[in-house]
Chains A and B, each alone.
Chain A
Amino acid sequence: MNNCLIKGGRVIDPARQLDAVADIWVEGGRIKAVEPNLELLDSPPPISAQGLWILPGLIDMHVHLREPGHEYKEDLQSGLTAAVAGGFTTVLAMPNTSPPLDEAGLIAGLAHQAQQIRGARLSLAAAMTRGRQGQELCEYQDLKAAGAQAVTDDGSWVADSRVMRRVLDYAAVCGLLPLSHAQDPWLARGDISEGRVSTRLGLPGIPAQCEEIAVFRDIALAELTGQPLHICHLSTRQATRLVRAARAKGLPVTAETAPHYLFLTDEDVGDYNTAAKMNPPLGSDLDQAALREALLDGTISVIASDHAPHSTLEKELEFGDAAFGIIGLETSLPLMLELARIIDLPIARLVELMSKNPAKLLNLPGGSLAPGGPADITIVDPNLEFTYEAQQGFSKSHNTPFDGRKFQGRAVITIVGGEIRYRYPRLSQN
């Protein structure tokens, strides 16, 4: 099986500068041809995609799937199905699990387990340092051989600059992308962004300089080593400027941001709403405007959700005790489609941000609909209106400030390796 014909959709594949109505012929899990008016003898009934957008499978390169250790929040099964329901064919899982993913055996075990799940493909980021302690490098070659695509101590910054310098040098040798959670750990001791809202609510604030300082150091080390560096969840105007300047200089620095930073501000914390507590914290209007601008001008290369499931045990608490993070796999694309309309972001650029660029950074085979490549395809209905209800979602957790939001546009079919794994509104059974 794993053959299909998708007819009449608008194919948007910026990797090949293609934006045209065409049919897609999938055979043996790979893309066989992308051409107008394909007619096949004895093909299965075609998928009609008139009025729909055919995109290379979307990739979310920053998700927390909580396995092993916190399976009551999320596990591979629920996380990877939430991913296909959100239109993602591949996700990159973060290693801040319990135990952390700092050994090849853990990586290989998860990769193997994921193959049994009919959801998105699982890519893995291994820990940057042993135990995520920021001191000793993990065995990168071993981790790479076991299936890791990146290394990160996400959740913590490698504060020791000498260690981070070695990380950048050595990760490059092993072909692993280093992802930095750039926050000065001392200034990060707070609950929300420092500003009017933190003053009003009497909560300890995290100044924007917390991110700026760390991003500055990280960029300096990328310059020193000449090696690639990817900044996670960029959230402030100040740090955005630094990334723009680094890229203008030609340094191999890339950055991602998450949809919530493009839509919400610290005002959305409102009356101590823990669904708006995340790290980095929601910033100001100015931060939001700077991030939107950085999407348009190419400073930001990737949109990633930072999907961070937590149960009510971690969220229905006093604000200061509540955990940081929100889920995002099922709202990321609908939010970005909305943003594209608001800021006139060309849809081809959105596909770069959510498919082409992460594929390139992580050296994954997808990111394009080129014949010969894997048939990972996201079919989007840009006009479908729906109300997102977290309780009805596929994630085990429901911690999101977007619960109940009305959207226009979403993934209606998600195809992984030629197999339909999601067809709105439910997972595919075949």
Chain B
Amino acid sequence: MYAENLAWPKDLLDLKGLSADHLTAILDVAESFREVSERDIKKVPTLRGKLVVLFFHENSTRTRLSFEVAAKRLSADTISLASSGSSMSKGETLLDTAKNIEAMAPDALVIRHSASGAPSFLGQRLKCPVLSAGDGAHAHPTQALLDLMTIRRVKGRVAGLKVAILGDIAHSRVARSNMIGLKTLGAKVAVAGPPSMLVGSLAEEYGAEVFRRPEPAIEGADVIIVLRIQLERQSGQLFPGAREYSRVYGLTPQRLALASPEAIVLHPGPVNQGVEMTPEVYQGPQSLILEQVTNGVAVRMALLRILVDNPENHKNVA
């Protein structure tokens, strides 16, 4: 199915609501853009004259750079707005910011925000497409798509694979979006983490198998997605400490051996080496973490192209 033959929503807030055809179409477009990144002149005129606003209300290096590179390779102009901390503490609300952004007549807004739901808040109030670059513990759709792309490139498919997601599922937007995307494309998902990092209803809501120990999730897995442990956030509340965590839940070569021999290891980065995975695994042949970064640019190019060129939006303007 070509992207042109599908109806697209105005915004990309989540993978929920996108069909397998939609996800496949995004990945297909991304494949075609990956080739652009391998050219001598890494630029196509697709979005020339368009303005993409990158609004990062939470620290992010990788995702912001990736979106910026993606927009530039499509010849769009980009501007960055960065802020951190609660908007209220600065006296400017998200609504004020939204109105200010609107006044710049952007063609797309990319938002990263610490509050779950902030992209949806903006999507309801802005005419241009809003692309989530991650919100709170809610969703990180482009991360999930680049994971899907990486998996599909190596395995040739997503359907029927067993994918294990390890770590702080409860607070992870990466886990949520991945569970949705993986299930939509027909993978089997097993998640594992300490009980304080799991949350109720994962099975009902996402169709995931839930384990409190990593081993049964890893067993026979074709793909292992390891989540970043937010050391700064824990302070002894969710687990006793980094050492304890790495002993019980860290991905070691021994634990990795439980997976399928061709299993691949993914991580949204940056990795706490020695905590959620050992340096041997991180640097080992099964780790595709840098490949994910390359695919991230291609996926974001695909989404900008699809949503900025969305005929539905032209209808809205007219």
Contacts and interface: CB of A to CB of B under 8 A. Distances in A.
B112 interface: no
A145 to B, nearest CB: 41
Interface stretch (B156-164, B195-203, B227-235, B307-315): B195-203
B176 A321 contact: no
A318 B117 contact: yes
Nearest to A198: B199
A318 B94 contact: yes
Contacts of B137: 202-203
A200 B93 contact: no
B93 A272 contact: no
A194 B202 CA distance: 12
A199 B139 contact: no
A136 interface: no
B201 A199 contact: yes
B138 A318 contact: no
A195 B87 CA distance: 28
B205 A318 contact: no
A317 B136 contact: no
Contact of B93 (A195, A202, A316): A316
Nearest to A191: B116
A297 to B, nearest CB: 29
B86 interface: yes
B95 interface: yes
Contacts of A313: 93
B117 A199 contact: no
A52 B13 CA distance: 50
Given A196-B201, A199-B200, A202-B135, A271 B120 contact: yes
A320 B86 CA distance: 11
B199 A205 contact: yes
Contacts of B86: 321
B95 A317 contact: yes
Interface string B107-145: 000000101111011001000000000011111000000
Contacts, number: 68
A194 B270 CA distance: 30
A214 B121 CA distance: 34
Contacts of A286: none
Interface residues of A, number: 19
A11 B135 CA distance: 56
Interface string A53-84: 00000000000000000000000000000000
B73 interface: no
A201 B117 contact: yes
A360 B192 CA distance: 54
Interface in B84-100: 86-88, 93-95
A202 B136 contact: yes
B118 A318 contact: yes
A195 B121 contact: no
B176 A272 contact: no
A319 interface: yes
Contacts of B124: 271
B205 A199 contact: yes
Contact of A317 (B88, B173, B200, B201): B88
Contacts of B35: none
A402 to B, nearest CB: 20
A195 B94 contact: no
B115 A195 contact: no
Nearest to A273: B117
B116 A272 contact: yes
B69 to A, nearest CB: 27
Contacts of A200: 176, 201, 205
A196 B93 contact: no
A199 B95 contact: no
A317 B176 contact: no
Nearest to B93: A317
Nearest to B180: A200
Q: Interface centre among A194, A202, A203, A271, by most B CB within 10 Å?
A: A202
B204 interface: yes
B199 A199 contact: yes
A33 B176 CA distance: 66
Contacts of A321: 86, 88, 115
Contact of A201 (B93, B138, B200): B138
Contacts of A272: 116-117, 120-121
Contacts of A196: 200-201, 204-205
A200 B173 CA distance: 10
A201 B116 contact: yes
Interface in A263-288: 271-272
Nearest to A200: B205
Interface string A194-218: 1110111111010000000000000
Contacts of A205: 199-200
A347 to B, nearest CB: 39
Given A205-B199, A271-B120, A317 B94 contact: yes
Nearest to B172: A202
Nearest to A312: B95
Given A202-B139, A202-B173, A320 B116 contact: yes
Interface string B8-19: 000000000000
7 contacts: A196-B201, A200-B176, A203-B136, A205-B200, A271-B120, A317-B94, A318-B116
Top 6 A-B residue pairs of the complex, sorted by shortest distance between their CB atoms: A202-B138, A272-B117, A202-B137, A318-B115, A202-B116, A196-B201
Given A316-B95, A320-B136, 14 more contacts: A194-B200, A199-B201, A202-B136, A203-B116, A203-B117, A203-B138, A205-B199, A271-B120, A271-B124, A272-B120, A316-B93, A317-B95, A318-B113, A320-B115
